[in-house]
Structure 1
Amino acid sequence: MKFHLIGSPSIGKYRELKFYTEIFWKKKDNFSLLNLLMISKKIRMENVFFQKNNNFKYINSNDFTNYDNILDINCIINSFYNNNNIISLKKYFSFARGDKLIKPGKMTKFFDTNYHYIIPDCFSNLKLLNKKIFDEILEIKKIGILPKIVLMGPITYLHLSLKKINKFYKNVLEIYIYLIKKIINLGIKTIQIDEPILCSKINNNFKFFFNLFYKKISNLKFKLIISTYFGKINDINIINNLKKCTIHLNIENFSLINFLKHDVSLEIINSNLLKKNLFNLFFYKKVKLYSFDCNCKFIPYDLSVEKNLKNKIYLSFFFQKINEFNLIKRIYKKKINELDLLYLENFNNYKEKILINKKFKIIKKKSINFNKKILLLTSIGSFPQNIEIRILRKFFNKKLINLSEYKLIIKENIYLCIIKQYFLNFDVLTNGEFERTDMVEYFSNNIKGMESTKNGWVQSYGTRYVKPPIIFNVFDSNFITENWLIFTKKITKKKIKIILSGPVTILKWSFCINKKNEDFICLSISEIINKEIIFLQKNNFSIFQIDEPTIKECLPINKKNWKLKINKILFFFNNCTKFIKINNEIHTHICYSVFNDIYSMINKMNLDVITIESTRENMKNILIFNKIKLNLGAGIYDIHSPIIPYKNDIKKLIFNFLKEININYSWLNPDCGLKTRNWYELIKTILLINKVKKYIFKENI
């Protein structure tokens, strides 16, 4: 049995990449750059030796990234306007985050995951201007290993650019062919090209370019592995038209094996964290390789560092799954030892019944509450969490301070945050979310049946890492928000917006162990959110923001499967709003999504106000909202960039916003939570927004 990886995690076992990257962003000196390069090499070498020590057939190269894999390709082939210079690591980060000379790249989500990528922008000036891929090949060759190169496929790359078919598409194919030739000239014998687009419905134009590209590279001397993941292959004939190669399939495509004329690499271990996925044992002559179902960057590193997980015996993280690979190999070769027998004897499957309420009614959409004032200013929820808050949380977790001391300091910060919001003329306030680490993790800590890890980090994008909770089952939980919001209400008479994570997002941004029953689990979470809203309404709260940033990424990548999933999403969201009073407002926040094909779904959601991220799009993505009868906050301040905007930039954004959306239906807000920014940046930007707002009011008068 021969194993290989589709991709390895890039962040380091203890998030080393994040810390060294953020130090470089802050200091921007040669010493911090050198440290970042060293830690990046350390992580790459750890991955290489880990694969080598476990006797993998192929050792990967080019699956490591300092920010995101698509940005890596953007920089290698120069898919940027007005750039003809070598792209250094400093410039690489500027294309992602922006600086004084470069605007930050547009960003959206990678198929149906929470992994964000920088959208390719320009195909008219393609050339090789970054040597990352070649340097990493030479780095591995120096230690005597000939690696397998992992490369995002050109057809998927074109699809991810979100551009309509244009005359520059062939340029992308040509630069890819040139890149592959350069890689082969370095002695590389095997290249893995990822084409997850094969699991979606491909139009005739993409089919043409797919056939054209793979026909042209079929004469080059290297072994080709085409990797697909995220679902079932939509059209097997596209693959069978290719020259013989190896196709990686997940278990959903198992029935297609006998119809493929190619060799097969098959999923034998699932990325679900449950141990029971160990024994997907299938041995076919056609199957030459075995692997995971998808890239391993989507799962946490190591279960052994988790000390307080109640259901740890049922779980398996990346390192444990690699050990399971080796166990499968020993079982296959009939060479199991005493430790293997001990492991198998203590092998546990999670078995617990899920109880649900079977009585549900059709939920009618309530009439929309349009704004009574124009250009209301609010935040998405969180405010900057300074060093004091982070140290406080560490001390509390290590039991160096007690609960009453912890709560007192959090209340002090909430009080100061309310004062600052008064100073900044916010019309609708939030409590600042100082009691919360992450929008989903906080809820998981307060919902029975969900568990949070201490070190189960996965990358969302750049240095934004998240710890997805693990859902075993969901039991009734009341008063998730505890008394934080009631305390906030005592110190102000202004309207307070309640921030709640939606049921669909809580499920999507968690590892759901029981995949077969995840709809019932989502329904149970929806009921819990519903009860929380009833409790808060009794305490005279009237504005509820139920965040659902994942509704687009929850949809299957094959659009023919959308209808059923959309109906489920609508039911789960509307179910948790069913007891909100007619005069009370329902908000939601959806981030970095493409709305053109989901606006009809948004129109059916029980909503009054939707806030989105539009700064990087220069308000071009709001055009579709003319078809939706909702109040809209388009996001005036890009909080994912370190740039403090000028007054003129804010003025342009607001004017572009008001050109498309009626001022009576418009809200002003930062485009996401402010947790990662500092108070200096925030105060300076919000004061500029207020100046532009006053100017608009004077002009209208």
Structure 2
Amino acid sequence: MLKSSNLGYPRIGANREWKKALEAYWAGKCDEAQLIGQLERIRLDHLKLQQDKGIELIPVNDFSYYDHILDATAMFGLVPPRFQYAGGVVPLSTYYAMARGDKGATACEMTKWFNTNYHYIVPELNGAKPTLTENRPLKAYQEAKEKLGIEGKPVLIGLYSYLKLSKGYELNQLDELIEQFLPIYTQIVQELAQEGVQWIQIDEPILVTSITQEDLLRIRRIYSTLHEAAPSLNIMLQTYFEAVDFYEEIVSLPVQGIGLDLIHGLGQNLESIKSFGFPDGKILGAGLIDGRNIWRSSLEAPLQLLQEISDYVPYERILVQPSCSLLHVPVSTRPETALDPVLKNALAYADEKLDEIILLVQAGNDGQESVQAKLDDSRKAVELLNASSSRNKEHVRQAAANIDLQPASRENVFVKRQISQQEKWQLPFLPTTTIGSFPQSPEVRKARQSFRKGDWSNEQYEEFIQAQIQIWIKLQEEIGIDVLVHGEFERTDMVEFFGEKLNGFAFTLNGWVQSYGSRCVKPPVIFGDVEFTTPMTVKESVYAQSLTDRPVKGMLTGPLTILNWSFVRDDLPRSEVAFQIALALREEVEALEKAGIEMIQVDEPALREGLPLKKEKWDRYLEDSILAFRLSTSTVKDTTQIHTHMCYCEFHEMIDAITALDADVISIETSRSHGELIHTFEESTYELGIGLGVYDIHSPRIPPVEEMVSMIDRALQVLDPALFWINPDCGLKTRGIEETVASLRNMVQATEIARAARSVAK
């Protein structure tokens, strides 16, 4: 008999209760005991919901107070010295300081979780000695059993994945680190076994990346040790996001179950099962429902796949589950009352995906006839959406299909453009700018809400936005910034704003997902063919430019970021959707230039996160990404300066692709990674304009002038000062007004010091 399993459930709550509780605590509106109580209620509600739906293996310890990797770091007592940790269970104040920073210490680095839009807090090892401060998986198991009668499946990040996701050690130290951590993992599994735990889910997503035979030897040593330490405990070694390369070696590990992604890793994983079989006696965790996208499954394909797999693995040894944790999708479609019924009926969020899992189990165990009506509903829902006019715009399809006929390179190379641009703009040495957005105060959010509800007229709202633009143009001039922005007060989200003005997008009422910490985003839904209709940003940009003699940048979100930060239709290749978006954005770029806005920033912060997990697939993705960006930006004049922005990722791996974008100026985060990105430019030449973010905007901390001067000085040792810009590392929307102004004043003061020092040196 098939059984059902889940890998993880969204933390944020149906109405973002989790987010609200965290932010109330940070704001001093509730104390630690109240926070702990609120989060316990949310956590238990999530477990009860899965229990009520009939999920047989329910994950526990997937809930977090901020981030699951930070949870493991705290459990191991790996607190960097700057947080003055005294040992024992890590206090909540220290835990949050590591995530967000405090007045005395910068936050730990944050980066993307594989190729998703979730961010994790990077562990800093740096010679620290791990210890088990508390057995979090055990506590989660005990809570679920005692309070709900649930025999939970504790979730734990695998040792090898944890180390590979960490920083602060050399490769030749990896074996030593494994030996330091193995006793801790051994203690965890032994205590779980003593408690009577049946299954533990150990997540090893690193196994779907390009690992080596040497990696495999280390992984075998780890799991042999764990099996010997707790032979009665069933280990589900869980992979996701892609296929495993060394299939035979992985499935032969001394574990009782292997979880495979049969959505994003379908072709290779299925071929491996057919070619090499599946070990007798082991359980297959079959990831048959997409845990990363929101589309309803017709269920015919997964049922057929189950039939194929059953030739190699009998049903009694198959767990039906999502392809990955449901952390990456919203909670429930029930509140989506404003969507077109054809579209809404074709969606499945976390709760609906759990229903699909149960339905697959029922169909497999009792026969499809027992649930035929529900299967027919699923199939018809998908067919109706595919047949809609929104998905069948021939002129849009043809333009994207014939992309080789479209211009995709600037008229002249950067060296020539740079001369023309300097003559036009007459910018000072080390020009200063910001990334785009300014603080969205409660007044800004309230005004937008009033406008959206219809309480404010269009004229009232436009007058309010113009007043905000006036305030911040004046502030930027007073602070001394050289290239200004209008502040983006009219925008809720950098992707949603553009999606609302392009055909082919839909927007949900409650489609929230966690991006990092309490930061939740509501990704647009790309459900149809994407096309430009009318200028989207010209009005605000032109108004801002009318208020100042300094240049004001037009601000757009790039095609790959719109793609990667949206839920994307699954009936077309993603590259084709990217090209549709790129051609639509090109019309906006041309409209801005025609209106006199001749510095235009096309942000691509999400380009890196779409990079395939296997290196052999990188070239194709990067070629398509570069083409999409250049399709958007290549038809402007030489004197029109194209900027772009990226943040929080491993840029050394794709510096050639960044150069190939051919942007006149790129701004890249470097503050939160403590200047490590500069090392990339010590090894690789970059000959276009560049700004390395000199302070971290995700922390409320105001960076001192000296700190930014040091960052600038180090960058100027490896980058051409004539091409160097100075800016924060990201947009300032989430920051407070006072801290933003203070930080920018310090940034300009640091720039003046750097200019003076360079002038003296000359």
- Whether TM-score is above 0.5 comes out as yes
Q: Which residue is 1:10 aligned to?
A: 11
Asked if residue 665 in structure 1 is aligned to residue 723 in structure 2, the reply is yes
Name the structure 2 match of 1:303: 333
Flag the 1:434–1:245 CA change in 2: closer, same or farther, 3 A.
same
CA contact (8 A) 1:577 1:606 kept: no
Do structure 1's residue 273 and structure 2's residue 276 form an aligned pair? no
Q: Indicate whether 1:256 and 2:260 are aligned.
A: no
SS across alignment from 2:653: coil
State the Cα deviation string for residues 501-528 of structure 1 (Å, max 9, x = none).
1101101111112353322211111011
How far residue 462 of structure 1 moved from its aligned partner, in angstroms, is 0.2
Tell me the SS of whatever aligns to 1:472: strand
Choose which of 543, 564, 585 in structure 2 pairs with 1:487: 543
Q: Retained in 2: the 8 A contact 1:610–1:633?
A: yes
Is 2:638 the partner of 1:582?
Answer: yes
Deviates more, 1:155-164 or 1:368-377: 368-377
> What one-letter code is carried by the residue in structure 2 that aligns with 1:151?
L
The whole-number CA distance in structure 1 between the counterparts of 2:146 and 2:68 is 24
SS at match of 1:533: helix
C-alpha distance 91-345 of structure 1, shift in aligned 2 (>3 A): closer
- 2:622 counterpart letter in structure 1: I
Q: How does 1:496-645 map to 2 (within 5 A)?
A: 496-625=552-681, 626-645=684-703
Distance 1:18 1:35 in 2: 14
Higher mean displacement: 173-182 or 461-470: 173-182
Provide, for residues 80-123 of structure 1, a one-character-per-residue CA deviation record: whole Å limited to 9, x for no partner.
Answer: 33344231222111111111333310111111111111111115
Gap change, CA 1:158 and 1:425, over 3 Å in 2 = same
**Partner residue, 2:363:** 331
The Cα shift of 1:173 comes to 3.0
The answer to whether the aligner puts 1:182 opposite 2:186 as a matched pair is no
Deviation at 1:131, TM superposition (A): 5.0
Q: Does 1:110 align with 2:113?
A: yes
Question: Which deviates more from structure 2 when the two are superposed, residues 35-44 or residues 524-533?
Answer: 35-44
2:375 and 2:640 mapped to 1: Cα distance? 60
Q: Rate the CA distance shift 1:213–1:244 in 2: closer, same or farther, 3 A.
A: closer
- The answer on 1:688 being equivalent to 2:727 is no
Partner SS for 1:460: strand
Per the alignment, residue 446 of structure 1 pairs with 501
User: 1:61-210 alignment to 2 at 5 Å?
Assistant: 61-82=60-81, 83-85=85-87, 86-122=89-125, 124-143=128-147, 144-162=149-167, 163-165=169-171, 166=173, 167-210=176-219
The separation in 2 between residues aligned to 1:346 and 1:597, in whole angstroms, is 44
Structure 1 residues 441 and 201, CA gap change in structure 2 (3 angstroms): same
Q: Return the offset for 1:468.
A: 0.8
| Rounded Cα–Cα distance in structure 2 between residues aligned with 1:577 and 1:343 | 44
- Provide the residue aligned with 1:24 in structure 2: 25
Instruction: Specify the code of the residue in structure 1 equivalent to 2:188.
Output: L
Tell me, yes or no, if the aligned pair for 2:436 and 2:487 is still in contact at 8 Å. Answer: yes
CA distance, structure 2, for counterparts of residue 396 and residue 475 of structure 1: 26
Give secondary structure in 1 for the equivalent of 2:610.
coil
Indicate the residue corresponding to 1:47 in structure 2.
46
Structure 2 contact 123–165 (Cα < 8 Å) conserved: yes
Aligned 8 A contact 1:478 1:528 in 2: no
Q: Equivalent residue of 2:602, what SS? A: strand
Structure 2 counterpart of 1:685, which letter?
Answer: S
Distance across 2 between alignment mates of 1:273 and 1:136: 28
Structure 2 contact 437–489 (Cα < 8 Å) conserved: yes
CA RMSD of aligned residues (A): 2.1
Q: Which amino acid in the other structure matches residue 363 of structure 1?
A: A
- After TM superposition, the score normalised by the length of structure 1 is 0.95
- Decide whether the 8 Å contact of 2:691 with 2:726 is kept in 1: yes
Q: TM-score, normalised by structure 2?
A: 0.88
Deviations 1:296-339 (A, max 9, x none): 01011111101211221221211122222333334342574798
Letter in 2 for 1:278: L
SS class of match (2:510): coil
Whether the 8 Å contact between 2:202 and 2:238 is mirrored in structure 1 is yes
State the 1:627 CA deviation.
1.6
In the aligned structure 2, how far is the partner of 1:299 from the partner of 1:521? Answer: 20
Alignment match, 1:60: 59
Query: How far apart, CA to CA, are the structure 1 residues paired with 2:20 and 2:381?
Result: 37
Q: Which amino acid aligns with 1:269?
A: I
Q: Which runs of 5+ in 1 are unaligned?
A: none
Structure 2 residue identity aligned to 1:243: P
- CA–CA distance in structure 2, aligned partners of residues 164 and 203 of structure 1: 17
Q: Distance in 1 between matches of 2:588 and 2:406?
A: 19
TM-aligned CA deviation for residue 603 of structure 1: 1.5
Distance 1:483 1:255 in 2: 54
- Shift of the 168–340 alpha-carbon distance from structure 1 to 2, 3 Å rule, reads closer
- Mapped contact 1:373–1:664 kept (Cα < 8 A): no
Verify: 1:353 aligned to 2:383, yes or no: no
Deviation of residue 247 (structure 1)? 1.0
Alpha-carbon deviation of 1:551?
1.6
Question: Where does residue 224 of structure 1 map in the other structure?
Answer: 235
- Mark the CA change 1:56 to 1:180 in structure 2 (over 3 Å): closer, same or farther: same
8 Å contact 2:55–2:358 — kept in the other structure? Answer: no
Aligned residue for 1:247?
258
Amino acid at match of 1:67: Y
In the alignment, the residues of structure 1 paired with residue 495 and residue 653 of structure 2 have an alpha-carbon distance, to the nearest angstrom, of 26
2:321 corresponds to 1:291: yes
Residue in 1 that maps onto 2:413: 367
Instruction: Please give the alpha-carbon distance, in whole angstroms, between the structure 2 residues aligned to 1:205 and 1:100.
Output: 43
- Structure 1 range deviating more: 65-74 or 81-90: 81-90
% identical aligned pairs = 30
Matched residue type, 1:666? F
Q: 1:660 is paired with a residue of what secondary structure?
A: coil
Structure 1 or 2: more helix by fraction? 2
Contact 1:460 1:466 survives alignment (8 Å)? yes
CA deviations on 1:602-630 (whole Å, 9 max, x unpaired) are: 12112111111111222221222352212
Matched residue SS, 1:248:
strand
Q: Is the 8 A contact 1:379 1:430 kept in 2?
A: yes
- State the SS of the aligned residue for 1:579: coil
SS of equivalent residue, structure 2 residue 608: coil
8 A Cα contact 1:273 1:513, kept in partner: no
